[in-house]
Structure 1
Amino acid sequence: MATVRQWEFAGRHGAVAAYSWTRPEPRYLAVLVHGYGEHLGRYGHVVRALLGHGAAVCGVDHTGHGESAGERVLIEDFEDVVADVHTLVADARADHPALPVVMIGHSMGGMIAARYAQLHGRDLAALVLSGPVLGRWAALEALLGLEEIPDVPIDPATLSRDPAVGEAYAADPLVWHGPFKPPTVRAFDRCIAAVNEHGSLGGLPTLWVHGEDDRLVPLEGTRGGIEAIRGADLTERVYPGARHEVFNETNAAEVLADVTAFVDRVLGAPAR
Structure 2
Amino acid sequence: MADTRDHVLTGTRGTLAVREWPHPRPRYIALVVHGYGEHSGRYQEPAGVLTAHGAVVYGPDHMGHGRSAGERVVVEDFEDVVTDVHAVAGLARAAHPGLPLVLIGHSMGGLISARYAQRYGDELTALVLSGPVIGAWELPGRLLALDEIPDTPVNPAALSRDPAVGAAYAADPLVWHGPMKRPTVEAFARALDTVDRGGGLGALPVLWLHGDDDRLVPLDGSRVGVERLGGTLTERIYPGARHEVFHETNRAEVFADLTDFLDGVLAR
The residue aligned with 2:197 is 197
Equivalent position SS for 2:90: helix
Farther off after superposition, 219-228 or 241-250: 219-228
How far off its partner does 1:24 sit? 1.8
Equivalent position SS for 2:147: coil
Equivalent position SS for 2:4: strand
Cα pair 1:101 1:125 within 8 Å, conserved: yes
Indicate whether 1:180 and 2:180 are aligned.
Answer: yes
Cα pair 1:3 1:23 within 8 Å, conserved: no
Q: Which 4+ residue blocks in structure 1 deviate beyond 2 angstroms?
A: 1-4
Distance 2:185 2:83 in 1: 19
Distance 2:189 2:143 in 1: 10
The residue aligned with 2:23 is 23
Structure 1: tracts of 5 or more residues without a match: none
Question: What are the Cα deviations for residues 21-58 of structure 1, in whole angstroms up to 9, with x where unaligned?
Answer: 22121110000000000001111001100000000100
Task: Give 2:221's aligned amino acid.
Answer: G
- TM-score norm. by structure 2 comes to 0.98
Task: Give 1:98's aligned amino acid.
Answer: G
Question: What are the Cα deviations for residues 46-82 of structure 1, in whole angstroms up to 9, with x where unaligned?
Answer: 1100000000100100000000010000000000000
Equivalent position SS for 2:15: strand
How far off its partner does 1:20 sit? 1.1
Task: Give 1:237's aligned amino acid.
Answer: R
How far off its partner does 1:199 sit? 2.0
The residue aligned with 2:60 is 60
Distance 1:7 1:100 in 2: 21
Question: What are the Cα deviations for residues 243-266 of structure 1, in whole angstroms up to 9, with x where unaligned?
Answer: 000000000111011011000000
Question: What are the Cα deviations for residues 82-138 of structure 1, in whole angstroms up to 9, with x where unaligned?
Answer: 000000101110111111000000000000000000000011000000000001112
How far off its partner does 1:3 sit? 5.4
Distance 2:66 2:139 in 1: 23
Task: Give 1:247's aligned amino acid.
Answer: F
Indicate whether 1:86 and 2:86 are aligned.
Answer: yes
Q: Rate the CA distance shift 1:3–1:162 in 2: closer, same or farther, 3 A.
A: closer
The residue aligned with 2:247 is 248
Distance 2:13 2:144 in 1: 24
The residue aligned with 1:263 is 262
Task: Give 1:47's aligned amino acid.
Answer: A
Distance 2:141 2:20 in 1: 36
Distance 1:66 1:159 in 2: 18
> How many correspondences in the alignment?
268
Cα pair 1:30 1:58 within 8 Å, conserved: yes
